[in-house]
Amino acid sequence: MKKILMICAATALLLLVGCSSYEPVVFPFGKTYTYEVSFADGCAVPDTSFEIKMTTSKNKFFGQFGLKYEYFTHDGTPVYVEKTGYTEDKGRVELHPPRMGMMAFTAVVPFPTFSLPVGCYVSSKGSIKVAKSTFTAANGKTIEYAYNQGGVDTLNYRGENIECFIVTGENTNHHKDIGHYHVTYWFHPQYGFVLWKYELPEGKCVWMTLQK
Q: Is residue 153, in this structure, part of any structural domain at all? A: yes
Mean pLDDT within 135-153: 94
* pLDDT per residue as tens digits for the range 13-48: 333 334 457 889 999 999 999 999 999 887 666 677
Q: What is the pTM of this model?
A: 0.88
Domain count, the chain: 1
CA atoms within 13 A on the CB side of 145: 24
Mean pLDDT for the stretch of residues 176-194: 96
2-6, 144-148, 165-169, 172-176: the lowest-pLDDT one = 2-6
The answer to whether residue 142 sits within a structural domain is yes
Given this model, what pLDDT does residue 9 score? Answer: 41
C-alpha–C-alpha distance, residues 96 and 82, integer Å = 11
Nearest to 67 by CA among 7, 16, 102, 111: 111
Q: Which domain holds residue 95?
A: 2-6+26-210
Look at residue 139 and tell me if it is in a domain: yes
With respect to residue 12, please indicate whether it lies within any of the assigned structural domains: no
Domain-embedded: residue 16? no
Please report the pLDDT score of residue 45 as a whole number.
62
- Region of poorest pLDDT, from 1-10, 67-76, 106-115: 1-10
In the chain, the amino acid numbered 59 is N
- 83 has a pLDDT exceeding 90: yes
Give the per-residue pLDDT at 15: 38
CATH number at residue 205: 2.40.360
Backbone angles phi, psi at 63, to 5 degrees: 85, -5
Percent of the chain with pLDDT over 70: 88
- Residues of the chain with pLDDT > 90: what percent? 73
Segment 70-93 shows an average pLDDT of 94
Average pLDDT over the chain, rounded to whole?
A: 88
Q: Flag whether pLDDT at 7 surpasses 50.
A: no
Whole-number pLDDT of residue 138? 92
Q: In whole angstroms, what is the distance from residue 2 CA to residue 144 CA?
A: 10
Q: What is the pLDDT, as a whole number, of residue 132?
A: 81
Is residue 39 situated within a structural domain? yes
Please indicate, yes or no, if residue 105 is contained in any of the structural domains: yes
Give, in order, the Cα–Cα distances in Å from 52 to each of 32, 64, 71, 169, 207.
10, 21, 5, 22, 12
Does residue 17 sit within a domain?
no
As beta bridge partners, residue 54 has: 33, 69
DSSP state letter for 191: T
